[in-house]
Structure 1
Amino acid sequence: MTAARRRWRRSALPGFGLSLGVTLSWLSAIVLIPLAALALRPWELGPAGLWASIADPRVLAALRLSFGAALAAAAINLPLGLLLAWVLVRYDFPGRRLADAMVDLPFALPTAVAGVALTALYAPNGWLGAPLAEAFGWRIAFTPVGILIALVFIGLPFVVRTVEPVLRDLPSEAEEAAATLGATRLQTLRRVVLPALAPALLTGFGLAFGRAVGEYGSVIFIAGNLPMRTEIAPLLIVVRLEEFDYAGAAAVGLAMLVLAFAILLLVNLLQRLLRPWAARA
């Protein structure tokens, strides 16, 4: 028996080469090759044409709205998701199982149905839109605020489901010990709870942002789709495709890909920096 064969038989991971090959093949076919095609297609316009396509004021306005609303919605979902996860884990109350199941509704609900429901609710003649317009003069539907509400709706479960298992593993005895040592509730939250939950919160933030920045179905109904005002970047890509401007659509997609990758990379770096803080908690 050769030395190479003996080493192979002693391996703690039999079949590693085959598993790695299959994994890389699937990853290339599903992720890397499509992304490479997206990155290469806009260069048909040339460097000047690519820059002109991305620097178009309509494109910049759509990118600003999509990424700004996605970041704002993910930031809003952090405290909301933490509060909801805290209630579901730490308290036992009638209807808790029903509330826990309702958290997953945005996962299962078709995005178009969610968009129609939110539009009917917040339209000027809707159940909430009409009272808000009459009492405060607020207009929700067909404004950036409506887009923000839709993105909060579809992104909230990502934060809740990411934080919930970590919170279940966090013993309540740690909070009780902090209280017996004289810590206030705010100090307990800041020094005991948040350090342990910080990596999970950042993961939930990244997932909610990633879902929101590319959201299409639930947004186009409530956005109004006015160029330079309430037109999101995914809709602009569809418009370019309908105009048979495939390179222009790919250019917008490439800009979204680069920006999203940079933001998610920053989130991952922050998560890595917070791990020692969480370990000391």
Structure 2
Amino acid sequence: MNVMLRSRWWSFGFRSAIVLYFIVLIVLPILGVYAQSFSLGWPPFRAAVTDPLAWKSVLLTIRLALIATVINVLVGTMVGWVLIRYRFFGRRILNSLVDLPFALPTAVGGLMILLLLGPGSAVGEAAERLGFQIVFHEPAIVIAMLFVTFPFVIRAVQPLLEEMDKSEEEAAYTLGASKAKTFVQVIFPTILPGIVSGAMLAFARALAEFGAVVLVAGNIPGKTLIASVYIFGEVESDNPQGAAAVSIVLLTLSFLILWSVNVIQSRRGRA
């Protein structure tokens, strides 16, 4: 009896510690941001969110994050397909490199982009000769977002490809279906939930990126100033309410995305 009682108390204490850790690390900071944004009332919050520079930075971030997400969906799906379906020399090394953006500090990623594509690099000079620039303009922001979000779609698609029954493909080929038709009608519906969830996570991650972007964006207000850098500037300008107001716009959008991902995954689990 004493053993059972101690076991229950231990289990209760363990669960309580986990809940407390979650509350202190996640819930309280989020509530603090919402409280800070509305600390001066609704009119200052609305003024902060509708400020032209703030609104332009949010719209620019969403637009460039969408571009990066679309590219990630296309390239990430192809990379996941190649890494699962083909065997070649160096495959394991490439597969391990997919997770490099997770381990590498994002500021280092931004520095690499700056060195490889900046004005003094061979690529940067070639781009200038063609009449456009990469670094300190929108293309650099998209590249930085692509770098930090690269693994999401790949890692979401790979398990579905591994679990897929190849007999369905073979049956489609036996019935005379082409490779393109087999992919569209057999393979694509299977990996679609992974593509969608990976794309949503990549989009949410791109919205919040700061370290890689701040080094290559140029941070020109109204042109290349994204939301995360704008928030940092408001904090540096001693305007925490304005920074918090823009923050909860991104935070709320991220919540909606994560909720959608959970819904998709739960439906896939019931299927």
Query: Is the structural similarity TM-score above 0.5?
Result: yes
Question: CA shift at 1:111, angstroms?
Answer: 1.0
Aligned twin of 1:5: none
The one-letter code matched in structure 2 to 1:111 is T
Residues 5-56 of structure 1: CA deviation (Å, up to 9, x unaligned):
xxx99xxx99775554344322212211111111111112211011001100
Matched, 1:196 2:180: no
Matched, 1:155 2:160: no
Among 66, 72, 80, which residue is 1:71 paired with?
A: 66
The CA distance in 1 between the partners of 2:266 and 2:179, in whole Å, is: 27
The CA distance in 2 between the partners of 1:104 and 1:254, in whole Å, is: 29
Question: CA shift at 1:138, angstroms?
Answer: 2.6
Question: Is the 1:163–1:201 contact (alpha carbons within 8 Å) kept by the matching residues of 2?
Answer: yes
Aligned twin of 2:170: 176
Question: Is the 1:59–1:233 contact (alpha carbons within 8 Å) kept by the matching residues of 2?
Answer: yes
Aligned twin of 1:222: 216
Aligned twin of 1:167: 161
Matched, 1:241 2:235: yes
The one-letter code matched in structure 2 to 1:253 is S
The CA distance in 2 between the partners of 1:172 and 1:125, in whole Å, is: 49
- Unmatched 5+ stretches in structure 1: 2-7
Question: Is the 2:169–2:182 contact (alpha carbons within 8 Å) kept by the matching residues of 1?
Answer: yes
Instruction: Decide which moves more: 94-103 or 216-225.
Output: 94-103
Aligned twin of 1:85: 80
Residues 65-98 of structure 1: CA deviation (Å, up to 9, x unaligned):
1122122212211121110011111111111122
The CA distance in 1 between the partners of 2:74 and 2:111, in whole Å, is: 26
- Residue pairs, 1:201-212, within 5 angstroms: 201-212=195-206
SS in 1 for 2:215: helix
Question: Is the 2:148–2:206 contact (alpha carbons within 8 Å) kept by the matching residues of 1?
Answer: yes
Query: How many residues are paired up?
Result: 268
Aligned twin of 1:44: 39
The CA distance in 2 between the partners of 1:132 and 1:64, in whole Å, is: 26
Residues 111-164 of structure 1: CA deviation (Å, up to 9, x unaligned):
111101101222233221221232x32321111121011111111111111211
Question: Is the 2:201–2:257 contact (alpha carbons within 8 Å) kept by the matching residues of 1?
Answer: no
Residues 175-231 of structure 1: CA deviation (Å, up to 9, x unaligned):
122111111112211111111111111221122112211111111111011111111
Question: Is the 2:145–2:206 contact (alpha carbons within 8 Å) kept by the matching residues of 1?
Answer: yes
Question: Is the 2:110–2:212 contact (alpha carbons within 8 Å) kept by the matching residues of 1?
Answer: yes
Question: Is the 1:70–1:212 contact (alpha carbons within 8 Å) kept by the matching residues of 2?
Answer: yes
Question: Is the 2:197–2:264 contact (alpha carbons within 8 Å) kept by the matching residues of 1?
Answer: no
Question: CA shift at 1:268, angstroms?
Answer: 4.8
SS in 1 for 2:38: helix
Cα distance change on mapping 1:127 and 1:172 into 2, 3 Å: farther
Aligned twin of 1:4: none
The CA distance in 1 between the partners of 2:262 and 2:68, in whole Å, is: 18
| TM-score (normalizing by structure 1) | 0.86
SS in 2 for 1:45: coil
Equivalent pairs: percent with the same residue? 36
| TM-score (normalizing by structure 2) | 0.89
